[in-house]
Amino acid sequence: MELRVERDSDIDSWKEVILVYSSALKQMSTKLEILNDEFQHIHRYNPIEHIKSRIKTSESIVKKLKKHGYESTIQNMIQYVNDIAGIRVICSFTSDIYRIAEMISNQSDIKVIAVKDYIVTPKTSGYKSYHMLVTVPVYLSDRILDTKVEIQIRTVAMDFWASLEHKIHYKFEGNAPDYIRNELVECAKMVSALDAKMLTLNEEVLGITKRKE
């Protein structure tokens, strides 16, 4: 499976695609690390546990384009595939998710294109996460390219559930038995309850700490 090059695009080769989207990921990762460090400096607390990033493979991109009826070209890839560059931000508590999303939105050079809040409205599978589609400026020697990056923000517990669900989905090629899907939904409810309990516990600890100061 190959992506056909069309020369009327700002990005005209797969190598340049990798360069631009990898640069966007580096820039976004650096921004998040700086925000996390600043938060630690001001509040003595790190909202971000860790950050994962990846570039979608050419095979996955072609598969996605074909699924939606588009030709496998560089131009279509850039226009219609929003998750070529993906970054996942893992935090401890649900309150951190919205705090991080707000900090990202407040960056003057980042444009938020779309938001999907699967925490308020989970998927039927039980999946929970906060998704942001943003553009990040990539500064090349002769031009600036606003490059799309998909950001997923979730708690450690949400990430654990999503990783397991992803493995099961591919093991059964998207057709897991009903009882397994039902068990996953029940596990998602348990994860939500755990996140809520841990958030309450953390708020109680913070309250005690403040009273001692």
Tokens of 120: 């308020």
Furthest-apart CA pair in the chain: how many Å?
A: 65
pLDDT (0 to 100) of residue 12: 63
Radius of gyration of the chain (CA): 19
pLDDT at 150: 98
> Are 11 and 77 a contacting pair, CB within 8 Å?
no
Sheet harboring 144-155: ordered strands across? 48-55, 85-91, 144-155, 130-139, 111-117
pLDDT, averaged per 10 consecutive residues of the chain (213 residues), comes to 45 83 96 93 88 93 93 91 96 94 95 97 95 95 93 97 91 86 95 95 85 73
CA dist 104 and 6 (Å) reads 33
Closest CA to 109 of 19, 23, 27: 27
Q: How far apart are the first and last CA of the chain?
A: 62
Residue type, 1: M
Q: What is the pLDDT of residue 9?
A: 52
Half-sphere exposure (Cβ direction) of 185: Cα atoms closer than 13 Å: 11
For the chain, which domains are there?
14-156 (3.30.460.10)
> Hey, is 91 helix, strand or coil?
strand
Three-state DSSP class for residue 168: helix
pLDDT at 213: 67
Residue ranges with strand state E in the chain: 48-55, 85-91, 111-117, 130-139, 144-155
Spell out a b/e string for 176-188, using b for 16 or more CB atoms within 10 Å of the CB, else e: beeeebeebbeeb
Name the residue type at position 204: E
CA distance 74 to 15: 11
